[in-house]
A and B are shown apart, each in its own frame.
Chain A
Amino acid sequence: MTDINNSTAAPTLLSKIVKSIGMLKESPIAIFGLSLILFWVILAILAPILPLYDPNTPLEPFKFPLDGSAKNDGLYWLGTDHKGRDILSRVIFGAQQVLVWATMATAVAYIVGMFMGVVAGYLGGWWDETISFISNVLLSFPVIVLYIIIITYLGATGFNIVLAVTFASAPGIMRIVRGLVLDLRTRDYIFAAQTRGESALYIMIVELLPNARGPLIVDACLRLGYTTITIAMLGYLGLGLPPPDPDWGKMIAETQPLGSFAGHMAVVPAIAISSLVLGFNLLADGLREISMRD
């Protein structure tokens, strides 16, 4: 087995990335989704060096989009909110917040969920029974109740939001991984590894998980979108990250009562969140289509 692997040149990471981007070309939907995501990622990365007002400093309240500033020569591209903070700046810094926390929460949920799934699927027996029962209990909770309990009990911090997302998502990820592993464990290369005398941990991490990655990548994209919604929703409900840092959901909640005369304050962050989630969902759909074609 290892001899065969060594005889062919192992593809480098770079060539793998180039190849997968090339594959994306087949699906315009995936390309469009990816560009929506990259748009926000690039803005979030460039936020500190872009010529923006400070997102938390009150300037002039109730400015409409494209209104000029009376204090300086600047222009409020997207207007200001009820406290006089620049909305463009708040949306871009809000992208930073939501991208960082959504990625982190999804990543942690994946690590936990994959580990539980591969253990339950490969070791089976009591491991499987226990892990599956815990997952079933957690899955029987409506997710929002889980979030509310964890966050009211532990407090609204970034870490606790990651924890809450992990509790809510890991059982679902575990089920997918478990199902994939149950299928993969009967393959010849697993028997080969067992015959070589590899440890269970080695087989799980080196042999099983990499081969289960296909469906997981699509699921991860969908979950990133869903976690983005979750984080903004918690912000909207007053359970999100503490103020004053901008948060898309909180921006909507704060300015919603002013909708009758200053609708842009809530509409701008609503467009922002919708476009980012749309990006994740379109990318997931495109990837699924490509994977089904092969």
Chain B
Amino acid sequence: MLILAFRRLISMVLIMAVVSFTLFSIFETDKLAVAGKVLGPYSNTEQREAWLDKNGYNEPFVERYFTWVGNAMVGDFGESIQFKVPVSEILWPRLANTGILAGLYMLVMIPLSLTLGVIAGMKEGSIQDRVVSVGSILTTSVPEFASATFFTAVFVFSLGWFPGTSAMTNGFSWAEIFLPVLVLVMYGFGYTARMTRASMAEVMTSHYIRTAVLKGIPYRRVILRHALRNALIAPFTVIILQLNWLLSGVIVVEVFFAYKGFGKLLLDGALFGDIYVIEACTLVAVFVAVFSQFISDIGYTLLNPRIRFT
């Protein structure tokens, strides 16, 4: 177990190293372009050279890379070109906002998709199975920006129940977070529900379930005590790995509802050409992705004693 954790940790560090080096080479190989971005299009070459010299850009490339990584590790990502403040000052509050959004999404999506998946998988081919399966295909076919359009047309403009933007200018508001979470859940729950259904259906055909049923154990008890334990192992991994593509949905939702989150920061940075913001956001996003992969690997082994890596 410890060996597995250690090996996964090493590969995690390796991936982060490759990613950060690639990122740095993409954005900071051309020093003059960096200076041009920071000082604006009207700066002349002399000013740019002076700026490069002052900010240590004339050191060798590899040395610059290590300084940059060292600073990033202690949370110093440089100064945002667009906002004129240190990137870390904007990054952490934005990340917290997205954390709230993603946390509420998980809180709704996990019980919903697990319940639906188990109900569908209990009896393969039954009416409830068909409804859940087709229903989840239907909801996963409507991308976030489309379902957000439909929901605002109904709930905001026709019924007037919710505000159309979620900028949270007067502090946190449940009414403003409702639609963003609903949009994310609509698109996201189908995948986990289908995975749970497949896993549950497979467990239900296994011999030990047949034995339990034939022994005369009440059906309810067979499902709750015997089937669920094994059926929920696979969805666990799926849920954690979802973090990786949840970010696309989060960006769309944050842009659509003007929610001040991490995704919007990344997109604004990219559209503006704010390289320090792009670098910081990418590093954080990849770190979260790699770390969730690590958790999912470890968790999977803990949950499933049949799998033992050496």
Contact = CB atoms under 8 A, between A and B. Distances in A.
B161 interface: no
Given A137-B19, A142-B286, A233 B149 contact: no
A270 interface: yes
A278 B290 CA distance: 31
A145 interface: yes
Given A237-B251, A252-B149, A145 B271 contact: no
A142 B244 contact: yes
Interface band, chain A: 35 or more
Interface of A: 29, 136-137, 140-145, 148-149, 151-153, 225, 229, 232-233, 236-239, 249, 252-253, 256, 259-260, 263, 266-267, 270-271, 273-274, 277-278, 280-282, 285
B149 A145 contact: no
Contact of A225 (B27, B141, B153): B141
Given A141-B286, A259-B153, A281-B141, A233 B134 contact: no
B142 interface: yes
Given A233-B248, A237-B251, 5 more contacts: A143-B248, A145-B282, A149-B278, A266-B149, A271-B146
B146 A273 contact: yes
Contact of A137 (B15, B267, B270): B15
B105 to A, nearest CB: 15
A29 B252 CA distance: 30
Contacts of A136: 11, 15
Interface string B120-142: 00000000000001100110111
Contacts of A153: 26-27
Given A225-B141, A267-B150, A281-B137, A148 B270 contact: yes
17 contacts: A136-B15, A140-B19, A141-B285, A141-B286, A153-B27, A229-B143, A232-B145, A233-B144, A233-B248, A237-B251, A237-B255, A238-B267, A256-B256, A270-B142, A274-B141, A274-B147, A278-B142
B131 to A, nearest CB: 13
Q: Among B23, B248, B266, which residue has the most Cβ atoms of chain A within 10 A?
A: B248
A239 B252 CA distance: 12
B141 A152 contact: no
Nearest to A222: B140
B141 A263 contact: no
Q: Among A143, A225, A229, which residue has the most Cβ atoms of chain B within 10 A?
A: A229
Interface of B: 11, 15, 18-19, 23, 26-27, 133-134, 137-138, 140-147, 149-150, 152-153, 156-157, 164, 244-245, 247-248, 251-252, 255-256, 263, 266-267, 270-271, 273, 278, 281-282, 285-286, 289-290, 293
A161 to B, nearest CB: 15
A273 B147 CA distance: 11
B122 to A, nearest CB: 19
